[in-house]
Structure 1
Amino acid sequence: MHFRFGSFPVIVGSSVDMARFFLKTQAILYVDRPKTASGKHTTYNYRDMTWSPYGAYWRQARRICLAQLFSTRRLASMEHIRADEVGALVRGIYAASGPMRVVHLGRDHMWTLSLNVITRMVMGKRLFADGASEGPMPSMEVFRRMLDELFLLNGVLNIGDWIPWLDWMDLQGYVRRMKKVGKVFDTFMEHILDEHILGKQRRHEGEAARDMVDVLMDIADDPTLEVKYGRIGVKAFTQDLIAGGTESSAVTVEWAMSELMRRPAAFDAATEELDRVVGRARWVTEKDMPNLPYIEAIVKESMRMHPIVPLLIPRMAREDATIDGYDVPKGARVLINVWAMGRDPELWDAPEDFMPERFLGSKMGVIGQDLELLPFGTGRRMCPGYNLGLKVVHLSLANLLHGFTWRLPEGVRKDDLSTSAPAHSSFQQSMWEALVQSKLRFKAFP
């Protein structure tokens, strides 16, 4: 489809053939990002991984992410963090549950899990201990509101982005808000870096483990690198890691639980697999995941129906090109509609039905090789943290299903969820408040 938003053409590809053309065959022509006010004001003038333009800076950043931050070895060394935080998740749910008591799964638990995992890996500690912080973010609720604002402003249709000569007027007030949230996060990032500089001597003496900020700070000072990142680059990458790693995993698990609550047969199949493979004497670990194909299928099916970024992040055409007789002009914004591809009846049987069984025995994955399913994108601009995200989603979902018996609050119908409804639909709001029976499925609580 071709649209025109203000001064720029917009191309939307909604099929595997179009995804292959834009992301594989001619990927080098569509690897760039458009310039937006949000990229300028909330990501240190396009210095993060998400919005930085294609070039030496971005290529080097990508290599650092793959080789240093999200390597198999580094993720394995931090497995204990994920295990600790999932343990804290189930203990928190256990403490909050009781006869006829409602547990706010997403708002109070999943979001906290994701935040604690990513901040311990990135910063070396929980951002909020006992719900409060010594830094510029006084409470978890304030931080959550700031993250919500950051994501909102990175997705709004800002008139100045599409009609540049109106940019100075800030007709919607978005730019003012972008500058404000950018300033708040910059104060927060300065605090993180100052803490690490003060603790550098202690880390050199081996008294503390190196976290991702330590790695980024060492790289920023590396004289052998082609591009120097400096303090601003470290702040931009750190913000990218914390923001991106907090939201996506939590929302994916919420959608999976929402769908399972509507389909008792799938729920029962998952718990049967967990009882058979893991047993009721212990919790699920990451080492169990290769032996839990139905849990993996649930995650894939959730990502098919509810991708976190339904249109992927926009790309920009670097040159004129032609596809199937249609012209794609230089400067066009390109969107890949993975939401539509995940519900295409030519690709999927009963695409509107949640059926994890479709992935049993299938080699189709979610890491960019199979273009029918692209929750993380593919190619050069694929999300570099996909492996970490999958580990957190699999482990937390498996333990939620293994440890508790779930049901909806009284008066909520299973058919209240529309697959096309917005995230604040009545069913999902009720799903966030799902009732957990106070008794664990385990014989004993560790």
Structure 2
Amino acid sequence: MAEEWILSSSINPISVSIVVGILLILFIWLRKSPGKTPPGPKGVPIFGNLLQLGDLPHETMHKWRKTYGPVLWLRLGSVDTMVVQNAASAAELFKKHDLPFADRKVPDVLTAYDFNQGTLGMNQFGGHWRVLRRICSMEFLVNKRMNETTELRHRIRENMEGWILEESAASLGAGGEGAVQLSRCLFLMAFNLMGNLMLSRDLLDVKDPESREFFDCMNKVLQLSGTPNIADYLPYLKWMDPAGMKRKMMQNLSRTMKIAYRFIKERHDDRNAGKVREKKDFLDVLLEYKGDGKDGPDRITEKNVNIIITEMFFAGSETTSITIEWGFTELLRNPSAFQKLREELDSVVGVGRRVEERDIEKMPYLQAVVKETLRLHPALPLLLPRNTMEDTTYLGYRIPRGTQVLVNAWAIGRDPESWPDPLSFKPERFLESGVEYKGQHFELIPFGSGRRICVGFPLAHRVVPLTLATLVQAFDWDLGAGVRPEDIDRDERLGLTLRKKNPLYVIPQKRLNVRN
């Protein structure tokens, strides 16, 4: 009977046709299939992996690498997301796939007043973005203009020293130990620096209520930009603005941009009155721009000038100040590193004058401290989110158009394949190393790489080492009663940037008494 069943089945033409048809379809589908997406943890309906990320998603993603490898696939609500987490994968992305991944995935709050369409950081890839990039990289943040503003940075640095002493004196007057919340002084320094570079004016003058209002509004906009928003992951809820974040952003951004507009109008009035400025600032560059007729607009609209000025305050103030705070935290936690840096400063600069930018190139240990800080504490741990503009095959994986791409620079900086003893603060590792943070060494990419590398890194390259050196040279520091270096925490708080969860409080004692 069995033989008869096999024989009758084998000669059934309908069954044979169905089987052959199915096999042929499968063969064709497999040949044409573009491949699979990268591996990743299983999510839950509607929310995907969103609820698994926790408060520090860069750390959670880093832990998942052990299970799923250096390229991770997540579904955050309805948003497909690829995460790149080692140097080799980052090199593949930036060297071979930079163009198809050059677009941005924009948070909903930054679409308020079409803010994203006028910015450099969050603008869609295209002609307008190229114009802004060209203005910043060729007209403003070039070495010539950086050199022209050296004395300005020195002045702002000296103002910071005064604020530190004033805040310490106020604490003592109130019965405290004289402790200073360093992050506040650093942010004020960075904010005033950007005010002078952008608008040629101090924007933190206690006598000027308009300046104070601008500072307060900017702080609120920064907070909103870094707050998780369910509308970003479930886009069909955007019209509802369920968390009310876009409404709050519109209120604060409106106030911020109105104040910035008054600065722009004031400059227009000066120019119309024939007032000539000796040195151009960034506002002058934007107002004088005329296109070449080949790419992008012929001029930058007043609205977009306003947006760009506002964006530069975001980017320059926040990232610079938190990087310096992290670097100084690590130096205080590691007294031997602090002492090595002070000895280098005393050897190169001495104690008869303040450290200057021209001294930095003669101080390899200071440069190593900056690199080690950026390795362990990139201000944007996941950089800015990219968006794929077309279906792409990357490392054999299928990456559909519209995928969000995150580069976990925090995880790359802690990768034991690239960094021996990766969790320790060891500036010495850079003394015999040619690794830089300018986007060509993919084991250290705190500013990103490729077309969308952070345009402000030339400014950070000057401000961060100068300020760290000033803190070490100008003051002796006390941690407070009973506090040991190892008691200083490195806990993180992620918003728009990666801040210290608990701000650093230290007690300064003036060390230098010089005039220059």
TM-score by length of 1: 0.91
Query: What secondary structure sits across from 2:111 in the alignment?
Result: helix
Rounded to whole Å, the distance in 2 between the matches of 1:17 and 1:385 is 25
Task: Confirm or deny: 8 A CA contact 1:258 1:428 kept in the other structure.
Answer: no
In the alignment, which residue of structure 1 is the partner of 2:347?
276
More relative contact order in 1 or in 2 (CA 8 Å, sep 6+)? 1
Post-superposition Cα deviations, 1:157-199, rounded to whole Å, max 9, x if no partner, equal: 3222332221111111111112112211221221111111111
Q: What code does the residue aligned with 1:104 have?
A: Q
In the alignment, which residue of structure 2 is the partner of 1:317?
388
Query: What secondary structure sits across from 2:103 in the alignment?
Result: coil
Match among 474, 488, 507 for residue 435 of structure 1: 507
Task: Confirm or deny: 8 A CA contact 2:127 2:295 kept in the other structure.
Answer: no
Matched, 1:361 2:438: no
Rounded to whole Å, the distance in 2 between the matches of 1:325 and 1:67 is 37
Match among 198, 209, 231 for residue 122 of structure 1: 198
In the alignment, which residue of structure 2 is the partner of 1:111?
187
Query: What secondary structure sits across from 1:283 in the alignment?
Result: coil
Larger radius of gyration: 2
Task: Confirm or deny: 8 A CA contact 2:130 2:296 kept in the other structure.
Answer: no
Matched, 1:101 2:178: yes
Task: Confirm or deny: 8 A CA contact 1:408 1:430 kept in the other structure.
Answer: no
Post-superposition Cα deviations, 1:371-404, rounded to whole Å, max 9, x if no partner, equal: 1111111111111111111211111111111111
Match among 297, 304, 326 for residue 397 of structure 2: 326
Q: What code does the residue aligned with 1:147 have?
A: M
Matched, 1:290 2:361: yes
Displacement of 1:299 after TM fit? 0.8
Rounded to whole Å, the distance in 1 between the matches of 2:494 and 2:301 is 39
Unaligned runs of 5+ in 2: 1-71
| Same amino acid, percent of matched pairs | 31
Residues 223, 134 of structure 1: alpha-carbon distance in 2 compared, 3 angstrom cutoff: farther
Match among 278, 288, 295 for residue 218 of structure 1: 288
Matches within 5 A, 1:155-170: 155-170=226-241
Matched, 1:304 2:380: no
In the alignment, which residue of structure 2 is the partner of 1:67?
138
In the alignment, which residue of structure 1 is the partner of 2:30?
none
In the alignment, which residue of structure 1 is the partner of 2:51?
none
Q: What code does the residue aligned with 1:133 have?
A: D
Q: What code does the residue aligned with 1:218 have?
A: E
Match among 148, 157, 171 for residue 77 of structure 1: 148
TM-score by length of 2: 0.79
Q: What code does the residue aligned with 2:208 have?
A: S
Displacement of 1:422 after TM fit? 3.1
Residues 303, 49 of structure 1: alpha-carbon distance in 2 compared, 3 angstrom cutoff: same
Displacement of 1:8 after TM fit? 2.0
Residues 235, 399 of structure 1: alpha-carbon distance in 2 compared, 3 angstrom cutoff: same
Residues 51, 226 of structure 1: alpha-carbon distance in 2 compared, 3 angstrom cutoff: closer
Q: In angstroms, what is the RMSD of aligned CA positions?
A: 2.3
Q: What code does the residue aligned with 1:124 have?
A: S
Unaligned runs of 5+ in 1: none
Matches within 5 A, 1:179-218: 179-201=250-272, 204-218=274-288
In the alignment, which residue of structure 2 is the partner of 1:262?
333
Displacement of 1:117 after TM fit? 1.0
Rounded to whole Å, the distance in 2 between the matches of 1:175 and 1:267 is 44
In the alignment, which residue of structure 2 is the partner of 1:404?
475
Rounded to whole Å, the distance in 2 between the matches of 1:206 and 1:165 is 52
Match among 123, 131, 146 for residue 52 of structure 1: 123
Task: Confirm or deny: 8 A CA contact 2:493 2:500 kept in the other structure.
Answer: no
Task: Confirm or deny: 8 A CA contact 2:97 2:394 kept in the other structure.
Answer: no
Displacement of 1:430 after TM fit? 6.9
Q: What code does the residue aligned with 1:434 have?
A: V
Q: What code does the residue aligned with 1:185 have?
A: T
| Stretch of structure 1 that moved more, 242-251 or 144-153 | 144-153
Rounded to whole Å, the distance in 1 between the matches of 2:515 and 2:296 is 53
Task: Confirm or deny: 8 A CA contact 1:33 1:53 kept in the other structure.
Answer: yes
Rounded to whole Å, the distance in 2 between the matches of 1:404 and 1:36 is 41
Residues 329, 156 of structure 1: alpha-carbon distance in 2 compared, 3 angstrom cutoff: farther
